[in-house]
Amino acid sequence: MKNLPGFRDFYPEECARRNYIVSTWREVSRRYGFVEYDGPVLEPIELYEKKSGGELLGQLFDFVDKGGRHVAMRPEMTPTLARMVAAREKDFKKPLKWFCCPQFFRYEKQQRGRLREFFQYNADIVGESSPAADAELIALAIDILRELGFTDQDFVVRLSSREIWASFLKERRGSNGFSPAEVDQLLAMVDKAERQEESVTNKQLGLLRVTYTDVQSWAAFWNQRILDAGSAAEGTSLAGFHELLHSHLGPRGLLDYVDVDFSVVRGLAYYTGAVFEIFDRSKRERALAGGGRYDELLSVMSDGKASMPALGFGMGDVVLANLINDTPRAKARMEAWIARRHAADIFVVIANETRRPEALAIAQQLRDTGLRVDFPLTAASFKKQLQTAVEHVGAEFAVVVGDEWPEVKVKTLATRQEDRIVQTELAHWLRNRQKGI
Ligand code: HAM
């Protein structure tokens, strides 16, 4: 029987690649002072109906459970995070910096970079309205990709702010000439514009009495204005955005990784201010990551009790794995990491089956010292055992237990050097050898 479309089997090699990605997410997060959390895989459907909005609602894996509750497998983390923080807001010192690496489920059309099940790193900061926090998250996303072996030649952060789109309608129709729902509609249309025919976009935008040319020139006007490091944005709603670029990302030397592009608005309903998406420069892949500010969500979630600014981003494993595979530098780094972890330190070769009890005792003692040890579970020829040690286990040493007892032979497999060691000295000798002493 085959697995379901869009769902993956993780054989050991795929699991090793996934572990590499997740371990990099964790390591770089800690460098930035983020702590890990998690939430439930299943949530009440209202959580997403109210908070996520947009395309996501049509993609939910939802069902009625045996208790009659309408539930959904989690498609994203942000509503859960907002619920969790709002519930115990007073327990945490702000700004709160949390990350997680969960698995999500979306009933999407299966295509390159998009599956129905995926892992997604999330990093969020709650309780900080300064653009310094936006910069910290963008820097974190960039550093994860650098740690994986990518450079500014490989990817770009497309940075934008939703704020210009409310002012776009205001400009066209005057302050009272449009509703908040129309701003949401406009954002959804701008979000889809890049992925569909221009005629379809124009037809949709016509409902709001604007054209795609109007939208493009508005984005281009602001793209140009914000790039000016002078005071062009002062006094406008984009002052904070200007600061983010020129006072926070610039001094960190990260502007080469960033393109300002106001046509990026993001598909989820809760974003309020600066938003960004990360793409590969070759444009072969769908977005690698996306996020932004959602300053109202905690308030909505807690009926106004916990009102706090918040921001974050998500980065999926699927596009990342495609990109690693297509970038030799990144691929070599991953393979070296996997080889280091996959290798056992020692394979105990049982050259004489009557010595199996002694061999088992040695394996156990070495494992007790923290060394990674493997051995044949049943009798096998000497040649076959050595072959297993080299080809399957990738061990550094073979410890041969046989007729020399109470001495054992230690073969250093890379150099073929052979030493005879008294078994009581073995653990100490191996440790020193590993340290190069
Ligand atoms: P999102 O843009 O829906 O944002 O997803 C973020 C990333 O998750 C995407 O750029 C992509 O790498 C990955 N992703 C999304 N859907 C799929 C899929 N079907 N298959 C494979 N990968 C996928 C969010 O989810 C926001 N909650 C992120 C966020 C966190 N915003 C604030 N904090």
Q: What is the distance, to the nearest Å, from the Cα of residue 404 to the centroid of all Cα atoms in its chain? A: 52
Task: Give residue-wise pLDDT tens across range 332-341.
Answer: 999 999 988 8
Q: Say what the pTM is.
A: 0.92
Task: Give residue-wise pLDDT tens across range 357-407.
Answer: 999 999 999 999 999 999 999 999 999 999 999 999 989 999 999 999 999
Residue 319 vs residue 54, higher pLDDT: 319
Q: Residue 233: what pLDDT? A: 62
Which pair of structure tokens corresponds to residue 221? 């006007």
Angle of the 317-326 helix axis to the 328-342 helix axis, nearest 10 = 110
* Region at 303 (left for phi over 0; alpha for psi -120 to 50; beta for the rest): left
Which pair of structure tokens corresponds to residue 190? 């701008």
User: Rounded CA gap, 379 and 335, in Å?
Assistant: 32
Q: Is 190 touching ligand 1 by the criterion CB < 6 Å?
A: no
Angstrom distances, CA of residue 416 to CA of 339, 398, 403, 425, 434: 20, 10, 20, 21, 15
Q: Is 55 touching ligand 1 by the criterion CB < 6 Å?
A: no
User: Rounded CA gap, 236 and 84, in Å?
Assistant: 34
Q: Is 314 touching ligand 1 by the criterion CB < 6 Å?
A: yes
- Distance between Cα 309 and ligand 1 center (Å): 20
Burial bucket for residue 67 (CB in 10 Å: 0-12, 13-18, 19+): exposed
Peptide bond into 406 cis (omega under 30): yes
Contacts of 223 by beta carbon, 8 Å cutoff, 6+ apart = 260, 261, 262
AA letter at 302:
S
Atom of ligand 1 nearest to the CA of 77: 27
Instruction: Count Cα atoms within 13 angstroms, Cβ side, for 142.
Output: 22
What confidence category does residue 232 fall into, taking pLDDT thresholds of 50, 70 and 90?
low
Task: Please give the mean pLDDT across all residues of the chain.
Answer: 92
User: Rounded CA gap, 71 and 62, in Å?
Assistant: 6
- Distance between Cα 120 and ligand 1 center (Å): 7
> For the chain, what percent of residues have pLDDT higher than 90?
76
- Distance between Cα 358 and ligand 1 center (Å): 53
Angstrom distances, CA of residue 15 to CA of 36, 329, 405: 21, 20, 40
Instruction: Count Cα atoms within 13 angstroms, Cβ side, for 423.
Output: 21
Q: Is 122 touching ligand 1 by the criterion CB < 6 Å?
A: yes
Q: Is 240 touching ligand 1 by the criterion CB < 6 Å?
A: no
Best residue among 76, 112, 286, 288 to mutate for probing ligand 1, ranked by most atoms within 8 Å of CB: 76
